[in-house]
Chain A
Amino acid sequence: MKEIISVKNLTKSFKTGDSELVVLNNMSFEIEEGDFFSITGRSGSGKSTLLYQLGLLDHPNSGDIIIDDVNVTSLSKEGRTKFRLKKLGYVFQDYALVPELTAIENTVIPLLMQGLPKIEAYAKAEWALKKIGMEERLHNLPNQLSGGEQQRVSIARAIAHDPKIIFADEPTANLDTETADKVMKTFLELNSQGQTIIMVTHEPEYARLTKRVIKIGDGKILTDGKSEDIISI
């Protein structure tokens, strides 16, 4: 399989006062296209930080990230925004839907931003919502939807424009077990259709469902693979 992400010597640190906290220390790894890649580790180990670097929401101190043959670390701010729009999709822990937009309107904005004609954009958004089983709730505002439904809308928004990779930071953390299971099921289905997904989770049972699990700590990858002892964090 072709690799979709290649990380080389990635370092990210934060300055707080006089001290410097190195969160990611010279990290290197690859992620294959079609993978369901989960990042685990203790709280504060840098899972989110790593995801933001890979997802172009933050800028590393040094190192290179190559996504789909583009060295994204050298992109301009505008270039990064455009890259995110075209190739990446995001699912946040707290759904992050725009409150005054209905389910379909939330889903359609990235498509409109890409310059798709209105009819085509709406058709695609509807398709995405159907795919995650939300076709009944197209015209509901976020506050008229349950947490799980909102999270599924946010997944629809993430997949509507056919991104190369979906990033999800603890997408099930705010949900009860039953709803979380549903969301996980949606991810697994998408992945089985070839969608690359990178997910941060601290829940072993969900990490266990993914194809590859890395555990990070002290700025390094502690383990990489899929053995029980990794997963049981």
Chain B
Amino acid sequence: MQKQKTKFEDLLISVKLGFFLAFRQIRRSNKTTTALIIFIMTLTFLNLVVVRGVLVGLIQGVVDVQKEIYFGDLFISVPNKKDFIENSPNIIEIVKNLPWTESYTARYTYGGKIEGTYKEKVNYTDKANEAGATIAGINPEMEDKVSHLSSKVVEGSYLTSDDADSVLIGAYLLKKYLEIESSAFQTLENVDVGSKVRLTIKGNTKEFTVKGVLKTKVDEIDLRVVMLDSTLRNMIGRTDYNVNEIAIITKPGTDPLVVKEALLRSGVGTTAKVQTFDEGMPKFVKDMKNTFALLGNIVGSIGLVVASITIFIVIFVNAITRRKFIGILKGIGISSRAIEIAYVFQSLFYATLGIGIGLLILYGFLVPFVEAHPIKFPFSDGILVAEVSATAWRVVLLALATLIAGYVPARIVVKKNTLDSILGR
């Protein structure tokens, strides 16, 4: 026991003396060099966190918009080989009464055809300005609570419950929004807000006015024509009120699996498919997210190695040029450990300041900035994903790498023969 204690005291003395030496060495070192090393550490840290953050954030943007606009936290849909969710009114009633439900929306969908500028058509043989589309019938208020669809109207305005003769049209149905020229994509030309369009659904044709254009970055929605649920119901004769999609937003902190369980227990599963968002997220999106995270980690790891080598070189050069003094310190009885600790403190100083500045830039500027101004990728609004846990983990990783990168070269130099070091042999 006694011996243990003196060993601990020895260590404490070495730590204190190491700090004493490190502090003075940093204080009297070249300020520009120190600033440069800290700058490298900051860049490394940002590289470690931001590259991955942007890559993951890019996919997270896709995922988030899917969830917000289309899917909700839970999604009830038509099972295979059926045309609609049977027993929908009952299911909606169950959803409405679940304690976890914050808001929900039920949508009718039906395949149809949309035609524009038909009045301008001169000859019968002229090519029709038409496109196939999914026609969706919604309750505008309820839909907006779930998907904030009104905020995605880029031209014109959102539907109200009085708009029985108006539709919103998905941007990808309009030629001016879809730049690619492809025969696979039928798009409408010269159709704008206020234009008359003709919809043909289940053999019924009706004229509507385009009230607004939707651009959500969710392909499913951007290829839809949206109208009031009552209008669509009448056109397709869905008198049983059976819908095709129900999206549910749960109250914050709810485990969607618990809600799914409850829905299945209520028998919803017999006539409908119930999925949580995670289950419903397409596999390729999951794969892509993981791939991008991996990519980000690879880039970050390279940065980590570069930073480690930088610190290694900095400390090594510092120690080797001071080899004589290290020898003298050892000669007059300073323990190797105290000298090594001095270098570890130095590299930790670089790391701490570098990481500190990096954190400040990250959370003080980058994250809020990107959140306010998402990176406009064609398929998503990329955000910067920098979860505190992931960042903390990288802070630890970088600090650890720095510590080792500082310790190893110090140890190499300190281990050299004392007399040889003093005499410069």
Q: Which A residues fall within an 8 A CB radius of B?
A: 52, 57-58, 78, 81-86, 88-90, 92, 96, 98-101, 105, 109-110, 112-113, 115, 141, 157-158
Q: Which B residues fall within an 8 A CB radius of A?
A: 9, 13, 16-17, 20-21, 24-25, 27-29, 324-325, 328-336, 338, 418-419, 422
Nearest first, the 8 closest Cβ-Cβ pairs linking A and B are: A85-B333, A100-B28, A84-B333, A96-B328, A57-B419, A115-B13, A98-B325, A113-B334
Complex CA distance for A105 and B333, rounded to whole angstroms: 15
Contact of A81 among B17, B28, B333, B422 (CB under 8 A): B333
Given A100-B24, A113-B13, A113-B17; A57-B331 close (CB under 8 Å): yes
Complex CA distance for A167 and B299, rounded to whole angstroms: 56
**Residue numbers in B under 8 Å from A105 (CB-CB):** 20, 24
Main secondary structure of the interface of B (DSSP, over half): helix
Min CB gap B251→A, angstroms = 59
Given A101-B24, A113-B17; A96-B325 close (CB under 8 Å): yes
B28 touches A92 (CB 8 A): no
Q: Which residue of the partner chain A has the closest CB to B13?
A: A115
Complex CA distance for A98 and B25, rounded to whole angstroms: 10
**Residue numbers in A under 8 Å from B419 (CB-CB):** 52, 57-58
Besides A81-B335, A105-B24, A112-B16, 12 other A-B contacts (C-beta < 8 A)? A58-B419, A88-B333, A92-B328, A96-B325, A96-B422, A98-B325, A98-B329, A100-B27, A100-B29, A109-B334, A113-B13, A113-B17
**Residue numbers in A under 8 Å from B17 (CB-CB):** 109, 112-113
Min CB gap A173→B, angstroms = 14
A92 touches B422 (CB 8 A): yes
B333 touches A113 (CB 8 A): yes
Complex CA distance for A141 and B28, rounded to whole angstroms: 10
**Residue numbers in B under 8 Å from A52 (CB-CB):** 419
A85 touches B13 (CB 8 A): no
Q: Which residue of the partner chain B has the closest CB to A158?
A: B332
Complex CA distance for A88 and B27, rounded to whole angstroms: 30
> Can you give 6 A-B contacts (C-beta < 8 A)?
A78-B335, A85-B333, A96-B325, A100-B24, A109-B329, A113-B17
Complex CA distance for A200 and B17, rounded to whole angstroms: 31
B334 touches A110 (CB 8 A): yes
B330 touches A81 (CB 8 A): yes
Complex CA distance for A99 and B29, rounded to whole angstroms: 11
A85 touches B24 (CB 8 A): no
Min CB gap A16→B, angstroms = 13
B331 touches A84 (CB 8 A): yes
A84, A85, A92, A98, most chain B CB atoms within 10 A:
A98
